Amino acid sequence: MLQPISTTFNTTANVEWLGGRHGTDDTDTATLDMSKFTSGTHYTPSADTGQPYSVFKSGVPLGRITASGLYAPWNKAAVDGSQVLAGFVVAETLFAPGTPKVNVALLWHGTVRAAKVPGGFVPADVTATNCLIRYV
């Protein structure tokens, strides 16, 4: 039997990478294939044993895997579809550790401060995209 729980989580999201509010009110939903993401790089693992929720970071660039339709980290050298930049994760998202798929909001149009994207990002490396992003 599932037991629903209620929790309050306060955090200050790092959105330095976001160049403005344009596009944040018209996002798409992206379902992440969590097996493709790295703990500590793309998300912060939970340290709370009482109500363990990990936090997926905002600003992570995503590509869509053609075969599954799920999203993975954007990778310019990939050949599975994730080499096509689909957008950026808009907001930090809580998820239970071990969850195979996580839904996030995808910024597919707007302004991004490339130098502030978590993990680093070079717009000149993007050779294929299906999003409308202006870099500043």
Average pLDDT value for the chain = 90
Give the pLDDT band (50/70/90) at residue 119: confident
pTM of the model: 0.88
* All residues at 6 or more sequence positions from 116 whose CB lies less than 8 Å from its CB, including other chains: 16, 17, 59
pLDDT tens for 5-38 read: 665 655 557 889 999 999 889 999 999 999 999 9
pLDDT tens for 42-69 read: 998 988 777 688 999 999 999 999 999 9
